[in-house]
Structure 1
Amino acid sequence: MTALQIQGLLHEGKAKKVFQTDRPGVVAVQYKDDATAFNAQKKAQLAGKGLLNWEISARLFEALEAQGISSHYLGCLEPGWMVVQEVEIVPVEVVLRNRAAGSLCRQLPIKPDTPLQPALLDLYYKDDALGDPLLTEARLELMQLLSAAERVELERLARAVNAALQTLMRPLQLELVDFKLEFGRSADGRLLLADEISPDTCRLWEVGVADAEHRILDKDRFRKDLGGVVEAYGEVLKRVQGLGSSPRQYR
């Protein structure tokens, strides 16, 4: 089979660029060094961040695949480049919280670090201009973003991802505090895990570290001006590399 040919830019987001390829239904994703927070109100360039998020995401997609969780991930090209199945992104962000932190503690009278069992699952409308508003049952029905069957499947998949990631990360001394997922519809109508799984989208704490700042190994280091963002992401990658061999090459 001839090598994959990358063609025109299809979309550029805050952290990635998506390119058309010469193969139907297959796109290439380039991870960027851009760091953003608060709906891109805060921005910076962090050299090396894209490579770290690319490899962490690839390894976690493969680890989830081994546990029976399908995603748009197909494999990798050169460092920083991932090949994925083209999907129609569902404009709904799924947030699962295993422990209270961040915005939840600002919006509700819940103390930080409070364990949430079962994990709290919230859905948000994916629109930066509107501030990614929380979706209620009535709002979901009003906007017809998901069918009833898709809503059930979305939540089932999200909870399966949560359980699998917790199982994977626990031996790595990483606590999955909360995280954001995105899903896409494949050409045959299936819901597939999409986007990325990285310290940009997951709140990760180092197990056994009591200090509320020193334990942070995720984008909160950027949000809170704590420094050491790339170093923290590098520590996450070093641990995730313990899950197995290097990410597979796309053929």
Structure 2
Amino acid sequence: MKKVYEGKTKDVYELENGNYELKFKDTVTGKDGVFDPGENQVGLTMDGAGDANLKLTKFFFELLNKRGIPTHYVNCDIENKTMEVIAAKPFGKGLEAICRYKAVGSYLRRYGLYIKEKTDLPGFVEITIKDDKAGDPPISPESLEILGITSLEETKMLYKLTKDISDIIKEVLAEKDLELYDIKLEFGRDKEGNVILIDEISGGNMRVYRGDEYIDPLRLPGLLLD
């Protein structure tokens, strides 16, 4: 296999059949040794993170595929911490879609002058560009079109898919008395140009609480899947 990309939490390999393999690592995003799904850098290494992230990713992608949500998921190998996906191109150099149900993380850091921590939010969506040097800034639909990253129609689809997917995940978590505060998703285009969900859906890119207790990403598979 040919390695085509080395990421913060996954490496990507090209397969002979034209698909790609994602190799999950034990690194998570954060800052100063503290996990934060909204951060744009590797914050720490957590033994078992790759295995935990892949188990949740498998569960959620298979659920979404059954619900008719377009994704890049094909299958996965839990033992080897790998996932096979169809080919997809990111928008520009990469976009992230964040759905927010509580005022925490980077949202609170930006707007703390106007809102208290953990205030309820209406599950609204923010699109950010993946740019470590710029701090992954939020970007408007108009700017996305001006820069040639997405069309306005594609941006509408990004917002709709993000909200639909996030609401499904929030409902699944609620069945186990878990509350989703926010979640970060990624999208791209398949070979036909369709907008599809890519990357992963795991404890490493969402913030989950049970009451006032923050749920560590490594605990989430046991609480949700057992």
Structure-1-length-normalised TM-score: 0.80
Aligned to 2:28: 35
What is the number of equivalent residue pairs in this alignment? 213
Aligned to 2:67: 67
Match of 1:112 in 2: 117
Larger radius of gyration: 1
Match of 1:157 in 2: 161
Task: Tell me the distance in 2 between the aligned counterparts of 1:148 and 1:173.
Answer: 37
Counterpart AA for 1:56: L
Q: What one-letter code is carried by the residue in structure 1 that aligns with 2:149?
A: L
Q: Which residue of 2 aligns with 1:102?
A: 105
Task: Please give the alpha-carbon distance, in whole angstroms, between the structure 1 residues aligned to 2:184 and 2:101.
Answer: 12
Measure how far apart 1:236 and its partner are: 0.8
Residue 124 of structure 1 and its aligned partner are, at CA, apart by: 0.8
Shift of 1:63: 1.4
- d(CA) in 2 for partners of 1:203 and 1:19? 28
Closer, same or farther in 2 for the Cα pair 1:205/1:151, shift >3 Å? Answer: same
Q: In the alignment, which of 134, 139, 142 is matched to residue 138 of structure 2? A: 134
Rounded to whole Å, the distance in 2 between the matches of 1:87 and 1:195 is 10
Q: Deviation of residue 101 (structure 1)?
A: 1.0
1:17 aligns with 11
Q: Which range moved further: 119-128 or 178-187?
A: 119-128
CA distance in 1, matches of 2:64, 2:224: 12
C-alpha change, 1:163 and 1:39, in structure 2 (3 Å) is closer
Asked whether the 8 Å contact 1:175–1:205 carries over to 2, the reply is yes
1:190-235: per-residue Cα shift (whole Å, max 9, x none)? 11111111111111111xx33xxxx112xxxxxxxxxxxxxx3342
User: What RMSD over aligned residues (CA atoms) do the two structures have, in Å?
Assistant: 1.5
User: Are 2:79 and 1:85 aligned?
Assistant: no
Check conservation: 1:67, 1:164, Cα contact below 8 A.
no
Structure 2 counterpart of 1:216, one-letter code: Y
Query: After the TM superposition, which parts of structure 1 deviate over 6 Å for at least 4 consecutive aligned residues?
Result: none
* TM-score normalized by the length of structure 2: 0.89
CA deviation profile, 1:110-156 (whole Å, cap 9, x unmatched): 11111112x22111111112211110244223212111211111111
Alpha-carbon distance in 2 for matches of 1:177, 1:111? 14
Query: Given that residues 27 and 83 in structure 1 are in contact (C-alpha distance below 8 angstroms), is that contact kept between their aligned partners in structure 2?
Result: yes
For residue 78 of structure 1, report the CA deviation from its aligned partner: 4.8
Q: Is the 8 A contact 2:188 2:196 kept in 1?
A: yes
For residue 34 of structure 2, what is the aligned residue in structure 1? Answer: none
Q: Find the aligned partners of 2:196 and 2:52 in 1 and give their Cα distance.
A: 23
In structure 2, what is the equivalent of residue 216 of structure 1? 214
Separation in structure 1 between the aligned mates of residue 43 and residue 8 of structure 2, nearest angstrom: 9
Contact 1:27 1:86 in 2 (8 A): yes
The separation in 1 between residues aligned to 2:190 and 2:70, in whole angstroms, is: 11
Q: Which amino acid aligns with 1:87?
A: A
How many angstroms apart in 2 are the aligned matches of 1:32 and 1:77? 14
Q: Structure 1 CA distance, aligned partners of 2:197 and 2:142?
A: 25
Q: Is this contact kept in 2: 1:59–1:240, CA < 8 A?
A: no
What is the SS of the residue equivalent to 1:130?
Answer: coil
Letter of the 1:101 counterpart:
V
SS of residue in 1 equivalent to 2:51: helix
Farther-moved stretch of structure 1 (133-142 vs 88-97) = 133-142
Other-structure match for 1:247: none
